[in-house]
């Protein structure tokens, strides 16, 4: 078992080489329920020595363990079994995810279902990795082999804990890599519970290792370790920059998914009710703790005032509550740190723009890191609340005047993760789609995410793609093989 209960608080270790191990330093850190502010678990804090052990285990598993010679079929079967375990344990996993992140239970259930689907998708894809035969002259044969990139260091955030683990682990395992996963220190619990089934489903020791602990120590040591071939990271742009610099010393491959300030664009001719819903859903789902949050709501001038009014009216109906209650639509933010960060943006927003609704802490909660769904309007796109990722339930509504103005404002951001456009005019819709500098563009919706389609950003939202065949590609090397078919000597000397 990963955990044992002491006085209601579960304790967890690191998962290294198929075993649960305490950190070399003996240090642990607390994990909280953000709705009660109570400690729910105590988790081993990995340091550089633990990272070294985990990387060595992953290295050995990659270089000479049974995983090194598994067939694609075998790896696919392991992934299907992982999916089955997730489905069997989904009520417990959803509950832990809900308690640890503060997200509504209904959303946590969707997340866990998506986790299983992700493992199934890559289970199927494992056997569809193809090389190529290259058209070289007739006296030779040239082909390519696709090989796993090696040991993958995977650093993930706290907003979708087990889903982010799945987006990283599933393609890596399908490719034949081995992994050292570091969950966010706020939310390690579901990944650790998941590890309980690794032995049972036939993952050899060392193939997936899980280390807990802060980014600045455990994460940084993983990025610097010469035994790691690739780093896959999801999190803040600030940390993305640190990772690129550190990874340069060992020239690791790096993929980054860094969030954004995504525009959600509404034209006058869009379906009215769907638009109001879509504007709110785009920015308030998961308490706004979403990398692709539609946090800049761009509204055509002709409908602007009515739009802000209608959004405000409907936002009053968003039910904040205890995460485990089924009718809760918004829970607390994940941590005190995130609550403080978002609160400081609320104060800033009151200076930079007008408040339509929200702007503080909801009165009904004595405890918990709750923030009111907040809509700022008359926001100038140069304001800090329009430029910086807030990662909370905070919308900035910005008016625009016609298509060209909408595109200009939408693209005037250092980020480029996602965007959405709402209109009934297909000419306009696709002109805007082509003009937006973003890796994901929705038309008449915002946020649906499918494992079959690529996920990732332009500009400072990072590089590389997750999901679909693109996600697998990031864990593969390409080896070209030249075969001489001409037996006569070269005759050069």
Which of these ranges, 208-216, 359-367, 464-472, 479-487, lies near ligand NAI under the rule CB under 6 A?
A: 208-216
| 234 binding ligand NAI? (CB under 6 A) | yes
| 373 binding ligand NAI? (CB under 6 A) | no
Question: Would you say 70 or 101 has its CB closer to ligand NAI?
Answer: 101
Min dist. Cβ of residue 341 to ligand NAI (A): 5
Q: Out of 44, 96, 220, 276, which residue is the one contacting ligand NAI (CB under 6 A)?
A: 220
Which of these ranges, 28-36, 103-111, 217-225, 313-321, lies near ligand NAI under the rule CB under 6 A?
A: 217-225
Query: What does the alpha-carbon distance between residue 464 and residue 473 come to, in Å, rounded to a whole number?
Result: 9
| 142 binding ligand NAI? (CB under 6 A) | no
Min dist. Cβ of residue 356 to ligand NAI (A): 22
Nearest to 212 by CA among 151, 155, 290: 155
| 291 binding ligand NAI? (CB under 6 A) | yes
- Which helix (H) or strand (E) segment holds residue 114: the answer is helix 105-125
Catalytic positions, written as ranges: 257, 291
HEC per residue, 18-53 = CEEECCCCCCEEEEEECCCCEEEEEEECCCHHHHHH
| 258 binding ligand NAI? (CB under 6 A) | yes
Q: Out of 214, 360, 454, 469, which residue is the one contacting ligand NAI (CB under 6 A)?
A: 214
| 184 binding ligand NAI? (CB under 6 A) | yes
| 293 binding ligand NAI? (CB under 6 A) | no
Question: Would you say 120 or 257 has its CB closer to ligand NAI?
Answer: 257
Q: Residue holding tokens 């040591």?
A: 221
Min dist. Cβ of residue 444 to ligand NAI (A): 24
Q: Out of 76, 235, 373, 399, which residue is the one contacting ligand NAI (CB under 6 A)?
A: 235
Question: Would you say 215 or 393 has its CB closer to ligand NAI?
Answer: 215
| 236 binding ligand NAI? (CB under 6 A) | yes
- For the stretch 372-378, contacts whose Cβ atoms lie closer than 8 Å and that sit 24 or more positions apart, written own/partner, are 372/320, 373/280, 373/284, 373/288, 373/315, 373/318, 373/320, 373/330, 374/346, 374/349, 375/308, 375/311, 375/312, 375/315, 376/349, 376/352, 377/308, 377/353, 378/353, 378/354
Question: Would you say 256 or 409 has its CB closer to ligand NAI?
Answer: 256
Q: Residue holding tokens 């804990």?
A: 161
Instruction: Read off the tokens for 133.
Output: 């035969």
Which of these ranges, 235-243, 355-363, 424-432, 448-456, lies near ligand NAI under the rule CB under 6 A?
A: 235-243
| One-character DSSP codes across 218-237 | IIHHHHH-TT--EEEEES-H
HEC per residue, 338-396 = HHHHHHHHHHHHHHHCEEEECCCCCCCCCCCCCCCCEEEECCCCCCHHHHCCCCCCEEE
**What is the total count of residues that contact ligand NAI (CB under 6 A)?**
26
Phi, psi of 254 (to 5 degrees): -135, 135
Question: Would you say 258 or 297 has its CB closer to ligand NAI?
Answer: 258
Question: Would you say 79 or 440 has its CB closer to ligand NAI?
Answer: 440
What angle do helix axes 90-101 and 105-125 make, rounded to 10 degrees?
120
Query: What does the alpha-carbon distance between residue 3 and residue 252 come to, in Å, rounded to a whole number?
Result: 34
β-pair type (133-134, 140-148): antiparallel
Query: What does the alpha-carbon distance between residue 278 and residue 266 come to, in Å, rounded to a whole number?
Result: 10
Q: Are 421 and 402 in contact (CB under 8 A)?
A: no
| 387 binding ligand NAI? (CB under 6 A) | no
Query: What does the alpha-carbon distance between residue 246 and residue 182 come to, in Å, rounded to a whole number?
Result: 17
β-pair type (263-266, 296-300): parallel
| 411 binding ligand NAI? (CB under 6 A) | no
Q: Out of 216, 271, 273, 401, which residue is the one contacting ligand NAI (CB under 6 A)?
A: 216
Which of these ranges, 138-146, 216-224, 394-402, 472-480, lies near ligand NAI under the rule CB under 6 A?
A: 216-224
Residues 144-183: x where in contact with ligand NAI by CB under 6 A, - otherwise, as a string: -----------xxx-x----------------------x-
Q: Which residue is nearest to ligand NAI (CB)?
A: 215
| 295 binding ligand NAI? (CB under 6 A) | no
Interface with ligand NAI (CB under 6 A): 155-157, 159, 182, 184-185, 214-216, 219-220, 223, 234-236, 239, 242-243, 257-259, 291, 341, 389, 391
């Amino acid at each position: 078992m990963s955990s044992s209960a002491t006085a209601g608080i579960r304790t967890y270790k690191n998962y290294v080489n198929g075993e649960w191990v305490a950190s070399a330093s003996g240090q642990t850190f607390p994990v909280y329920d953000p709705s009660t502010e109570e400690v729910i678990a105590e988790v081993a804090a990995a340091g550089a020595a633990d990272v070294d052990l985990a990387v060595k285990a992953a290295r050995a598993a990659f270089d000479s363990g049974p995983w090194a010679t598994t067939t694609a079929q075998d790896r696919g079967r392991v992934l299907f079994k992982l999916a089955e375990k997730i489905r069997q344990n989904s009520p417990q996993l959803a509950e832990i995810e809900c308690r640890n992140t503060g997200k509504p239970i209904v959303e946590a259930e969707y997340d866990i279902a998506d986790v299983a689907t992700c493992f199934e998708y890559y289970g199927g894809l494992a056997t569809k990795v193809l090389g190529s035969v290259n058209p070289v002259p007739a006296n030779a044969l040239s082909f390519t082999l696709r090989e796993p990139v090696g040991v993958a260091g995977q650093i993930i955030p706290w907003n979708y804990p087990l889903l982010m683990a799945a987006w990283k682990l599933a393609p890596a395992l399908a490719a034949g890599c081995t992994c050292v996963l570091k969950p966010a220190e706020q939310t390690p619990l579901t990944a650790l519970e998941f590890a309980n089934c690794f032995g049972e489903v036939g993952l050899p020791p060392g193939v997936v290792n899980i280390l807990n602990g802060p980014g600045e120590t455990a994460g940084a040591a993983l990025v610097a370790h010469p035994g790691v071939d690739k780093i896959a990271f999801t999190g803040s742009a600030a940390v993305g920059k640190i990772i690129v610099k550190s990874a340069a010393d060992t020239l690791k491959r790096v993929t980054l998914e860094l969030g954004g300030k995504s525009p959600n664009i509404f034209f006058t001719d869009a379906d009215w009710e769907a638009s109001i819903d879509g504007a709110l859903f785009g920015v308030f789902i998961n308490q706004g703790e979403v990398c692709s949050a539609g946090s800049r709501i761009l509204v055509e001038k002709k409908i602007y005032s009515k739009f802000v009014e209608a959004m405000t009216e409907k936002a009053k109906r968003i039910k904040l509550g205890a995460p485990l209650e089924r009718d809760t639509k918004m829970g607390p933010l994940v941590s005190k740190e995130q609550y403080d960060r978002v609160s400081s943006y609320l104060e800033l927003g009151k200076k930079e723009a007008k408040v339509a609704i929200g702007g503080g802490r909801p009165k009904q909660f004595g405890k918990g890191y709750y923030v009111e769904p907040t809509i700022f309007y008359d926001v100038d796109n140069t304001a800090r609340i329009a430029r910086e990722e807030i990662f909370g339930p905070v919308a900035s509504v910005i008016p625009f005047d016609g298509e060209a103005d909408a595109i200009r404002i939408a693209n005037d951001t250092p980020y480029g993760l996602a965007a959405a456009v709402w209109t009934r005019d297909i000419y306009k819709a696709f002109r805007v789609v082509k003009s937006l500098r973003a890796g994901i563009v929705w038309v008449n919706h915002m946020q649906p995410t499918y494992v079959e389609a690529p996920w990732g950003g332009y500009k400072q939202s990072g590089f590389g793609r997750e999901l679909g065949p693109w996600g697998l590609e990031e864990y593969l090397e390409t080896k070209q093989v030249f075969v001489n078919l001409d037996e006569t000597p070269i005759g050069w000397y």
